Amino acid sequence: MTIAELIAKKDEALQEAAAAQTPEEVEQVRIKYLGRNGLLPAIVKGFKDVPKEDRPAFGKITNQWRQELEAALAGKKADGDTAATGPAFDPSLPGRWFVPGSKNPISRVMEETAAIFSRLGFSVADGPDIETKFNNFTALNTPAHHPSMDPTDTLWLTDELLLRTQTSPVQIRTMTANKPPVRIITPGRTYRRDTTDATHSANFHQIEGLYVDVKPVSLADLKSTLTYYAQEMMGPRCKAIRFRPHFFPFTEPSVEVDFQCHVCGGKGCRVCKNSGWIEVAGAGLVDPRVYRFVGYDPDQVWGFAFGMGVERIAMIKYGIPDIRWLYENDVRFLDQVK
């Protein structure tokens, strides 16, 4: 056998080892080359017939062959061993527990509110977070000297654009695009330059409501609508709402709305600071000047509007003491509000 033939045989053996799939095939390759009557022992036995000058090379190649082949076969055997023990999945182990998530109370309040008002014929309207000065202020009868236009609590992007300070501009968008009657609620984000503490956040949420019709709509309609909402939202202990006189530029008359305390039913407790009432919303009858801005005839339409803080409702409904918990997405907190 020449050196070239020896190398060719070695390559062949290694290829066979690589191709072996089953433990039986691996064993066959081992017997064929390394077994007592295998090819390698035969080659070693034939050393004496190899020309003297070729013997060192012959010895070296044969040794390498044996080592490489043994290593290849050992690797195959290890693969086979893992395969033989079956898949890594052990059905007898206890399972891993996946806790289902829950909705943030802010989403919950917005969705529930939409559901309650939809039973009264209101649909949901949407508006952008970036608003025009006209929609957010001017058309809401809020003139340039009004304190709410102040750059210290309004986030202006340009002279004409701002992050909306309230959801009320959606009233303007809705009336401009639709003829009366309109009946909408509009939940969404609002922005003010507030520093964050337990009850304030620069980004918060409001739900706005608007009902305008071509027949008389009165404060009594506003009261019955919000009473129904209060009872549905806060539960059976909240039986009534009350109005207190207030001022908003875009309603006349304007009121602040208190819900009867849903915890004590009005008797007085820690939640309502012993008053029996909790302040929840601003509201009123739409100011005739607003109708002029949207192209409605103030003598032909009547309507009411209201605006509520979503965080505030969530906090009183679920007893959440700190507004920041609503934004932290801590499942230990969210789990408790399920």
Footprint on this chain of ligand DAH (rule: CB under 6 A): 166, 168, 208, 248, 251, 282-284, 305-307
Sign of the torsion angle spanned by Cα atoms 125, 129, 135, 137: positive
Q: Of 113 and 166, which has the nearer Cβ to ligand DAH?
A: 166
One DSSP character per residue, 230-272 reads HHHHH-TT---EEEEEEEETTEEEEEEEEEEPTTTTTS--TTT
The CB-of-271 to ligand DAH minimum distance in angstroms stands at 22
**From CA 185, how far away is CA 126, in angstroms rounded?**
9
> Quick check: helix, strand or coil at residue 51?
coil
Q: Of 248 and 325, which has the nearer Cβ to ligand DAH?
A: 248
The CB-of-126 to ligand DAH minimum distance in angstroms stands at 16
Q: Which residue is nearest to ligand DAH (CB)?
A: 307
The CB-of-175 to ligand DAH minimum distance in angstroms stands at 12
Q: Of 76 and 192, which has the nearer Cβ to ligand DAH?
A: 192
Q: Of 69 and 210, which has the nearer Cβ to ligand DAH?
A: 210
Q: Which residues contact 197 (CB under 8 A, 6 or more apart)?
A: none
Q: Of 208 and 311, which has the nearer Cβ to ligand DAH?
A: 208
The CB-of-190 to ligand DAH minimum distance in angstroms stands at 7
The CB-of-192 to ligand DAH minimum distance in angstroms stands at 9
Q: Of 120 and 334, which has the nearer Cβ to ligand DAH?
A: 120
Token pair 């509201």 in the structure block, residue: 283
Environment class of 160 (CB within 10 Å of its CB; exposed 0-12, middle 13-18, buried 19+): exposed
The CB-of-279 to ligand DAH minimum distance in angstroms stands at 12
How remote is the C-alpha of 301 from its chain's centroid? 41
Q: Which residues contact 254 (CB under 8 A, 6 or more apart)?
A: 245, 246, 247, 248, 282, 283, 284
One DSSP character per residue, 184-200 reads EEEEEEEE--PPPSSS-
